Amino acid sequence: MILFAVVKAVEDDEPGLVVGFISLVVMLGLSSMGMLGKSGFRSIGLPRRITACDSDRYGQGIQIPKERLEHAALITALFGAATAGLTTAITWYLGIGETLLPFGRETNAGANFMGVCGGVALIAALFLLAIRLPTTVSIHPTGVRRHVRQWRGLSFKTYDAFLRWDDIARISADELVVGGGSSETGRPRITLKSATPVPAEHQLGFDGENEITLMAYQLVAEPNTLLALLQFMRDNPDQRGIVARPDARELLTPPPLRERFRAARLAKKTAPDA
């Protein structure tokens, strides 16, 4: 429907409408990409951003950064919304052809509202573009490190937690359920239960006194593959040196999609019996 409107606007020589409708297409398209990423379709192969790391304190290992697709898609979607809103207001006030305002809203108030929304979206996009909030999980022969930088109040704060393998009592996985009804989705996360208390200054809002949570859905690694590697490292002390090898990143190569779909179907069938 929107694509048809774009074609018609081009035929009618309406540049304002073309810009506005294309912005809407970009915004909706990137929102869909973000939803697919949350569903795990981004983890088809081994992500290039999984790299070897070397820490003076923890030694060599594998570093898994945060997925950037969602952040980039959000920024681009906000720019699209800003362009759509500001273009709508400008075309109304300049009287350039037809209006982008919906039927019944072709008033100064409607144009003002769209202009304000566009301005807010533009400011939000520029703010997100300017800040960097990295999140990384590093797996070392000695333990697991989670490094997070967040915006708190009017400043940035860094949370740097490290759990030694011998202190990890249990590794479990569950899902953070968001939405409701037909739009309800589960986002995988991994919890590392510690035998000793985690310092309060290293805890995030979703952590506990004796545990840290890895938001697996935010990382570039395929969640089940990451979980399997963490469990292997905990259960096999004599094999922990494998993450320090030059080809260690290959350990996070996800299985083929066909196998993952088969495992998901099997999990659904066995869930009622669990």
pLDDT score recorded for residue 232: 96
* Nearest partner of 89 among 124, 122, 119, judged by Cα: 119
Q: Pick the residue with more confidence: 24 or 56?
A: 56
Whether residue 270 is contained in a domain is answered as no
> CA-to-CA distance for 59 and 37, rounded, in angstroms?
32
Q: Is the pLDDT of residue 24 over 90?
A: no
Statement to judge: residues 109 and 139 lie in one domain: no
Question: By residue range, what is the domain housing residue 57?
Answer: 51-66+134-252
Statement to judge: residues 60 and 193 lie in one domain: yes
Lowest mean pLDDT among 50-59, 98-107, 243-252: 98-107
pLDDT score recorded for residue 274: 43
Strand ranges inside the chain, DSSP E:
51-55, 59-65, 135-139, 143-152, 155-164, 168-178, 185-194, 211-214
pLDDT band at 59 (very low <50, low <70, confident <90, very high): very high
pLDDT digits (tens, 9 = 90+) for 65-89: 998 777 777 788 888 888 878 887 8
Whether residue 273 is contained in a domain is answered as no
Q: Output the pTM of the full model.
A: 0.70
Residue with the two structure tokens 């699209």? 80
- The CA-CA-CA angle for residues 108, 110, 114, to 5°, reads 115
Mean of pLDDT values over 255-270: 64
CATH code of 145's domain: 2.30.29
Whether residue 176 is contained in a domain is answered as yes
Q: Is the pLDDT of residue 242 over 70?
A: yes
Statement to judge: residues 92 and 9 lie in one domain: yes
Statement to judge: residues 89 and 221 lie in one domain: no
pLDDT score recorded for residue 30: 59
Lowest mean pLDDT among 22-36, 50-64, 71-85, 161-175: 22-36
